[in-house]
Structure 1
Amino acid sequence: MHRFIPHVTVATVVEDQGRFLLVEEYADGKRVLNQPAGHLEANESLLQAALRETLEETGWEVELTGVTGIYLYTAPSNGVTYQRVCFAARPLRHRPELALDDGIIGPQWLSREELDARREQWRSELVPRCIDDYLAHGGGPLSLIRD
């Protein structure tokens, strides 16, 4: 019997003056845009994973301010189901001297309108959905996340 095991991922919606921190990266040989995001690793909390992934993919240290949403998404490209816990965050400090993860082209700050104009580059429909949920309600308290 095949056991269903979703992949747990984290993402951050980082806003600064109406612009959002996105990651331009390669996925399946194509340049795409995504939130700073990645897989939860062994022995780390969801909060630690979100901070780590944001730093590794963008060079930005951030402060998590809320929980934007929890999403279940099955990628049409590979049939894998991901459970994404998305956090709201504010930027603290850019560390451009840090090497970014493999496959990362670099960080991009885009308005919601600029992101919409680049629809063909969205890694998935979760990219605008997380931002729209953030814009609609900001985020729930971080105390919702328990270790």
Structure 2
Amino acid sequence: MTERYKPNTTVACIIRADQHYLMVEEMIDGRLQYNQPAGHLEPNESLITACQREVQEETGIHLVPKALVGIYQFSANTDLAFVRYTFCASLDKQIAPNPQDPAILNAKWLTFEEILTLKTQLRSPLVLQSLKDYRNNPHYPLSILNDQYLSL
């Protein structure tokens, strides 16, 4: 019998203020890479709660996501796969980030054009694809996510 396929479940959040997007810098395999605040779903945690926790850990900002941008599948290689729930939130103004997670080197506000210039340094193709989807406005209400059967 073959081992069961178990992709990693992750969350990410596109945060926009003043035509800028909050991105985090991390060192992955010796390379500086950029991502939206993101991370893994933890046991008995709702997707929305996971998003809030990851944003707080990686940027120091407390927020509630406003909508779901999309659900993405990605295979980094034959042994590593992800299902990524990307959320979004808008702020009235840029807040100075203060990352709490030691794995985050920095968090900074960048324009879409600046993010495009970093294309080879983006953590995965999902970073740019979800940002393009966000800009094309396919936002879905959080009510489509049901966590009522979690053991909280």
TM (norm. structure 2) is 0.88
SS at match of 1:75: strand
Matched, 1:43 2:68: no
Mapped to 2, the partners of 1:47 and 1:90 lie a distance apart of 15
SS at match of 1:63: coil
**Is the deviation greater in 3-12 or in 57-66?**
57-66
Residue 30 of structure 1 corresponds to 31
Mapped to 1, the partners of 2:140 and 2:18 lie a distance apart of 20
Mapped to 2, the partners of 1:87 and 1:42 lie a distance apart of 19
Matched, 1:140 2:140: yes
- 1:89-141 deviation digits (Å, cap 9, x = unpaired): 12379576x65212211111111100011112111111111111101025111
Mapped to 1, the partners of 2:53 and 2:130 lie a distance apart of 19
Q: Which runs of 4+ in 1 moved over 3 A?
A: 91-96
Name the aligned partner's letter for residue 121 of structure 1: Q
SS at match of 2:53: helix
Question: Retained in 1: the 8 A contact 2:59–2:99?
Answer: no
Mapped to 1, the partners of 2:99 and 2:43 lie a distance apart of 22
Question: What is the aligned-residue identity percentage?
Answer: 38
Q: Which runs of 5+ in 2 are unaligned?
A: 148-152
* Count of residue pairs brought into register by the alignment: 145
Mapped to 2, the partners of 1:90 and 1:61 lie a distance apart of 12
Matched, 1:102 2:102: yes
Larger Rg: 2
Residue 80 of structure 1 corresponds to 80
Residue 90 of structure 1 corresponds to 90
CA RMSD of aligned residues (A): 1.8
Question: Retained in 2: the 8 A contact 1:88–1:138?
Answer: no
